[in-house]
Copies of this chain bind each other. A is one copy, B any other.
Amino acid sequence: MSKLRLKISMSLDGFVAGPHQSPENPLGIGGTRLHEWVVPLTAWRAVHGLEGGEVNASSRVVEESTANIGATVMGRNMFGGHPGAWDARDPWKGWWGTNPPFHHPVFVLTHHAREPLVLEGGTTFTFVTGGIEDALQQARRAAGGKDISLAGGAKAAQQYLAAGLVDEMEIHLAPTLLGAGERLFDGVGDDLHGLTLVRTVAAPTVTHLKFARPKS
């Protein structure tokens, strides 16, 4: 069966976003420091339509994280815009412009129903009001046998982790403190539901920690 794979950047003190997130500052104060390791990489720049960049130990981790993904699940906060009901006249269309870097179906967890949003390049955002299992089921159907990426943010990740539905987790640990914001593991408890450290990749400014379930 296709896997649900969480990948997320986290600070040394456990935050995946800084405090005071807003449409102008979607990652919160200091949050961009979580992603400084990825922006220079050729593997990341290519996906975002940018040329150049560098190759280092992180490159294969980024390439692997986008390989064999057939659908994405994300929380409303990551899709972004504003809290509450969608603006009927000019609904928020995501952070990624007219041709988002997903190129596959994306399922957005939300309390507010909305028609699917079809953008260029194969990315369709479907808004799911039925909860995390419903979203996962729809994503699994859409992925056609490939894996599903759990893109974040914190609250979506927490719900899937607490329910034991995550099959693989790659934490990009940024060696920095945010001091406040959204913690990845808030409310998850002390149970990783069998997720075990299976690989550590040391890069100059980030440590990649991959967790998976041992094959039974």
Question: Footprint of B on A, CB under 8 Å?
Answer: 12-14, 30, 171, 173, 175-180, 183-185, 188-192, 196-197, 200-202, 204-205, 207, 209, 211
Contacts and interface: CB of A to CB of B under 8 A. Distances in A.
Given A12-B171, A202-B202, A177 B191 contact: yes
Contacts of A200: 200, 202, 207
A139 B175 CA distance: 29
Given A14-B13, A185-B13, A207-B209, A190 B175 contact: no
Given A177-B191, A201-B202, A207-B207, 9 more contacts: A13-B185, A30-B190, A175-B196, A176-B190, A176-B192, A178-B190, A179-B190, A197-B207, A202-B202
A211 B177 CA distance: 13
Given A13-B185, A200-B200, A205-B197, A211 B178 contact: no
A175 B202 contact: no
Nearest to A184: B13
A198 to B, nearest CB: 9
Nearest to A171: B12
A77 to B, nearest CB: 20
Contact of A185 (B12, B192, B211): B12
A131 to B, nearest CB: 23
A173 B201 CA distance: 14
A188 B177 contact: yes
9 contacts: A12-B209, A14-B14, A176-B192, A177-B190, A179-B190, A179-B191, A197-B205, A202-B202, A207-B207
A189 B179 contact: yes
B211 A175 contact: yes
A176 B201 CA distance: 18
Contacts of A173: 173, 209
A175 B199 CA distance: 11
A189 B175 contact: no
